[in-house]
Amino acid sequence: MLSISHAVTGAAIAYHLGDPLLATPLILSSHYLLDAIPHWDVGTGLGNGSKSIKLAVLHEIPDLLLAIILIFLFFPSSLPVIASSSLTIPNSAPLWGAFIALIPDFLEGPRNFLRWEPKWLKPINRFHHSFHNSIPRMLDGLSPQLLLLTLLWISR
């Protein structure tokens, strides 16, 4: 799925659970389970050569930027706010939750964008790929993600 979908899901799990030890396995599981839903993301078409690396990078930049913006929008307490000259400590859970949620995709980055994959990463990426169910029809592939974000907005 898009970085937006994984990041906001991870942020929500971390926000609600708070404890990194409890949240981390759930967040990583959420990544693989969400990738099993038929979806479109910026990497769709990279594997079969129907999309160029350059275009995927160009799509990934707004995907990551929007993910960060949405995390602050969904969970405003994660944003540091200076009120009456004192800095309130932000809730870091949505940020680390989002980061953990994106780890499986970060680990695929060298293979997808540099065509380089260290041996130790191969089984991890193969495991990730075994869940991946991407479809080329962008609108059909974005609709389950829109539904997911709506549900996360309601439950935040």
Question: Is the Cβ–Cβ distance between 132 and 47 less than 8 Å?
Answer: no
Describe the crossing of helices 93-114 and 53-74 by its angle, rounded to 10 degrees: 180
**Closer Cβ to Zn ion, 91 or 113, answer by number:** 113
CB of 53 to Zn ion, least distance (A): 17
Supply the minimum distance, in Å, between the C-beta of residue 23 and Zn ion: 18
C-beta of 105: minimal distance to Zn ion in Å?
5
133 phi, psi to nearest 5 deg: -130, 75
Question: If residue 140 lies in a helix (H) or strand (E), which one and from where to where?
Answer: helix 138-155
Residues numbered 87-116 forming contacts with Zn ion, rule: CB under 5 A? 104-105
CB of 50 to Zn ion, least distance (A): 18
Inter-helix orientation angle 3-17/20-36, to 10°: 150
Using CB under 5 A as the criterion, what x/- string covers residues 52-91 for binding Zn ion? ----------------------------------------
Q: Which residue is nearest to Zn ion (CB)?
A: 35
Q: Which of 4, 13, 35, 74 touches Zn ion by CB under 5 A?
A: 35
Label residue 40 exposed, middle or buried (CB < 10 Å: 0-12, 13-18, 19+): buried
| Contact residues for Zn ion, defined by CB under 5 A | 35, 104-105
